[in-house]
Amino acid sequence: MTTSATASTGEVTGLTEVEAARRLARTGPNEVAAKKPVRLHSRILAQLRDPLIMVLLGAVALTLAIGDHPDAIVIALVIVVNTTVGVAQEIRADNAVAALSALSAPHARVRRDGSVRDLPAAEIVPGDVLLLGEGDIVAADAELAEASALLLDESMLTGESVPVDKDAGATLSAGTVVVRGRGVATVTATGAASALGRIAALLDDRREPTPLQRRLAALGRVLAAVTLALCVLVFALGLARGLPLGTMAVTAISLAVAAVPESLPAVVTLALALGARRMVARHALVRRLPAVETLGSVSVLATDKTGTLTEGRMVVQHIWTPQVSAELTGVGYEPEGEALVDGRPAREAELAPVRELLTVTALCNDATLRPPDPATPDTRWTALGDPMEAALLTAAAKTGCPAPAELLATRPRIGEAPFDSLRRRMTTLHAAGQDRVLICLKGAPEAVLDTSVLENGPGQLAQARQEAAHLAERGYRVLAVASGVRDDVPDRITAVESKLTLLGLVSLSDPPKPHAAATLATCRAAGITPVLITGDHPATARAVASRVALLGDDSEVDGQVITGADVAAGRVADLTAVRVFARTDPQQKLDIVEAWRGRGAVTAMTGDGVNDGPALHRADIGVAMGERGTEVARQAADLVLTDDELSTVVAAVEEGRRVYDNIRRFLVYGMAGGAAEILVMLIGPLLGLPLPLRAGQILWINLLTHGLTGVAMGAEPAAPGAMRRPPRPPDQHILGGGAWQRMLLLAAVVTTATLGAGLAARALDLPWQSVLFLALLAAQLGVVLGLRARLLTRQNLFLPLAVLASALLAAAALYVPFLRSVLETEPLDWAGIAIAAACAPAGFIAARLVRTAFRRTSPAGRAEASGLP
């Protein structure tokens, strides 16, 4: 025989062990089922199917075919490193669902066979009776049978910043936290059927490629086709001129290798890794390397409220008494601040009614404040208990009230009527000496500002109600405070809640962070649209949005705050026209993110709770809070903010734009060099240069230009004005926005200068092929320096050092006997060196002119130019 708990049960004995075992076998463990893991070889094959990697695999085969084993090893190493990094990042990203299981309470107290047992949460079954106390995490969905001043923090699931009181008969969700009080509840759902399990089902989606991955894939397909066509053309033309079949086959294969910027994956990986490292220094931890670049393309920033735009801690901001109104300064739970009246420090006489009110709130209070730990630097005051009550204690300390311990020592508590959702007020009784009792009461204005509770006159009550309504409209949470003294205490404590004196009103809020408004303004300047999505009350959402200037002129639904109910009912025709959403659930957050993505926007979503997990996972870039965020949010996100500051997202966006710019700059440089090599091989014979370059020489040029020099470009600093230009369109090709035009112009200049040097050397009866070889390499090194966004910067000394090293290795190809034999070059005198070296400034000047022309003629370029000093 088993028993189960109901709201009307007087004594709840719980299940028997036999019945619990039977139910566990039927329903399975109380765990969120993880999706079937992807096998390692499947992950590796998925990485190798990338079009650009397939081109590199072909290049390895070709270099092996011509016997160029060192180059084959280098290209293969790039493939191995790129694949390893990609697989490792995928494995870390797939841990989001597993974190949901870890979030569940590891142990829970249950009543079985009439006795209390402490069991692993995985063994909880439907019908079990949970015993809940302060600090406990609810192990499964349950129905509350008994409650004593029970207050739950549901922000991880609902986004609501204010804890919720629970009475018998209420439902509890897995993963919520008991802030105060005690309770007994009967489990109704476990595992996948619980609230956490339903959110896990929303998370179980495959990730889509990032914008960078899509662009590089498209580039790889185009590059493979163009390279194959040009190499076939060179091969055919060589045969038509009567050159040997073997020579032209090797030459065509070498051109194929030269035309493919095989160091691109290394450049991308290095740029992303350096970006991730820079972000860590700026308090942003990257979980997936491609997220670094994705941030640079973000056009919509969907942010939550609590802890992101706001401090995440309640604070008393305004106190109204019949005698005086005061504003309190300071943030958080630190007892630092002062009371201001009409913008000036309050006089002692003005502080008297304020202190009287706050003394009552400190007595009618169950919270405590914990000071910073002296052994741990940079810690702050923290709250134990209801955040609202902790804020009242902080306000009392700011105005010079005695400490709570001192107050209770002189006025010990002798009775209480705790807050509940029906009465909506809390009352405590305190011994006041000579058999007198002090009554302290606080609660919702509508439950206190009533003639049945207060003896104040009608005019004063009407004034208080008007002030309370005004504060509530501004998004504050308002409490009314009253007190009185009695000579006797009735048996029923609630009987003393009459003929009390109104002391005043207290308004509390979770204030915006000091730099929130400036951060959102920076977002707009960078072409990023901010959107607020919160589970809080619409009035609170509107107030915060107004204070941080989020409701701007760009809102088509002017000044409106749309609720989750409006979204669910389909009353909003275009979700992308709204800037503030309130009372949203996880599915509605997903709908909002999908609406923006459907419009072509690249979305970033910030969050900290379990309820944010699905949207963080679905957005192009998920950003989780590191300090107050849940493990679920951190695992679902691509970026974790270790300081919980929204301004860190802006810094990360700048870093993402830097990374993307460097990748594009390398593509312009690398592909211009590859195109120039092919053009030299095509045009040279028409000008009387039969075989301009030998296969080994092509590969040596390719190794030097696409090796250290190319990789060093990934570490270039951000361009001036990077955050004063709009994000790149998500559908823009990686060589769009004028990049391919610059690439072709530079290829033409390098080709012309190189062929000119070769013809001049032939006219002077110099070793023209060696001059042409050195000229082609010098021109490309000039281009790489000329493409720098910050020409004389000292932030990336690796690039000029890499150029110098490449120049020395080029000289080694002419003067080191072994290399000269392998590459079939000849030493040059000063005349030959001068002719070849003249191509370096030609490439440099061309790159600078191309940058200038681009900035003057393209919108993106003009935006970039606006930031130049």
Tokens representing 67 are 């016997």
- Rounded to whole angstroms, the Cα distance separating 390 from 370 reads 10
Q: Which residues are bridge partners to 483 per DSSP?
A: 440, 501
Contacts by 820-827, CB closer than 8 A, 24 or more apart:
822/696, 823/694, 823/696, 823/697, 823/700, 823/773, 824/694, 824/696, 824/697, 825/697, 825/767, 825/769, 825/770, 825/773, 826/767, 826/769, 826/770, 827/767, 827/770
Sign of CA dihedral 754, 757, 762, 767: negative
Sequence-distant (≥ 6) Cβ neighbours of residue 543 within 8 angstroms: 474, 475, 476, 509
Consecutive H or E run containing 439: strand 437-443
| CB-CB contact of 161 with 536 (8 Å) | yes
721, 689, 849: which is closest to 790 by C-alpha? 721
> To 10 degrees, the CA torsion angle through 303, 304, 306, 309?
20
* The pairing of beta strand 501-509 with beta strand 603-607: unpaired
Tokens representing 593 are 């993110």
> To 10 degrees, the CA torsion angle through 732, 737, 739, 742?
160
- Rounded to whole angstroms, the Cα distance separating 675 from 667 reads 11
List b or e across 455-490, with b for residues whose CB sees 16 or more CB atoms inside 10 angstroms.
ebeeeebeebbebbeebbebbbbbbbbbbbebeebe
Active-site annotation holder among 304, 510, 566, 591: 304
Sequence-distant (≥ 6) Cβ neighbours of residue 188 within 8 angstroms: 126, 140, 141, 142, 143, 171
Q: Which residues are bridge partners to 481 per DSSP?
A: 442, 504
- Rounded to whole angstroms, the Cα distance separating 134 from 180 reads 5
| CB-CB contact of 139 with 183 (8 Å) | no
* The pairing of beta strand 501-509 with beta strand 562-563: unpaired
Report which residue type is found at 496.
V
Q: Is 109 strand, coil or helix?
A: strand
List b or e across 833-869, with b for residues whose CB sees 16 or more CB atoms inside 10 angstroms.
bebbbbbbebbbebbbebbeebbeeeebbebbbeeee
| CB-CB contact of 705 with 850 (8 Å) | no
Tell me how many degrees the CA angle 50-54-58 measures, rounded to the nearest 5: 175
| CB-CB contact of 534 with 584 (8 Å) | yes
Cβ atoms within 10 Å of 356's Cβ, excluding its own: 17
3-state secondary structure 263-325: CHHHHHHHHHHHHHHHHHHCCEEECCCHHHHHHHCCCEEEECCCCCCECCCCEEEEEECCCCE
| CB-CB contact of 605 with 613 (8 Å) | no
70 exposed, middle or buried (CB, 10 Å; 0-12, 13-18, 19+)?
Answer: exposed
- Rounded to whole angstroms, the Cα distance separating 93 from 289 reads 11
Helix residue ranges per DSSP H, 531-630 = 538-547, 564-568, 586-598, 613-618
Give 151's DSSP letter.
E
Tell me if residue 304 is catalytic: yes
- Residues counted in the chain: 869
- Rounded to whole angstroms, the Cα distance separating 74 from 66 reads 15
- Which are the catalytic amino acids? 304
